Amino acid sequence: INTTGCYKEFPYISLCGKERNFVKCDDYPFVFTHVLNKEDQEELRLAYNHAGDFLTLTFQPEKIFMLPETGRVYHPAPDRAGSIGLIRSKLAIEFSKYFLFDEGEFSPPTQFIYENKTYNLDRHWYHNVIKTKPIQTIGI
């Protein structure tokens, strides 16, 4: 999040070596790209920024959240990155095949089936973050 006081029209800052890139995006700038499922690891990992094994977080399938108004899919991200990460469209489309909508298609999914296990989705974490943090995005 851009807390520099410079370029206030750009809510995010991306550090890349010596560069400081001020960024504005349509949604959240933290983007998860794929799931890592290695046999030698007990937990699933969710990778971000196309960095392979180098940038990952624990994948929490029960925390997947789909916003019905936009169809976008989210997962918790680090606090310093705004606490909400966007699931890349390609991965979100794959995930969407495994959503169950017990309350109808105009409500968020209630369950997610991943690797033959059904997860009851926590549909509150996303809204709790939105309530406690200012939205730094365009179009939401």
Higher-confidence residue of 15 and 92: namely: 92
Confidence (pLDDT) at 137? 41
Q: Report whether pLDDT(24) > 60.
A: yes
Query: What value does the mean pLDDT take over residues 57-70?
Result: 94
String of DSSP letters for 112-136: EEETTEEEE---SHHHHHHHHS---
User: 57 and 46 in contact (C-beta within 8 Å)?
Assistant: yes
DSSP state of 88: P
Weakest-pLDDT range from 34-48, 64-78, 92-106: 34-48
Question: Using one digit for the tens of pLDDT, what is the confidence trace for 35-60?
Answer: 988 776 778 899 998 777 888 999 99
Share of the chain above pLDDT 70, in %: 93
123: nearest Cα among 100, 139, 140: 100
| pTM (two decimals) | 0.81
What burial letters (b/e) apply to 89-102, b meaning 16+ CB within 10 Å?
eebbeebeebbeee
Angstrom distance (rounded) from CA 44 to CA 61: 9
Sequence ranges of the domains in the chain: 26-132
| Tokens (6 digits) for 127 | 């809204």
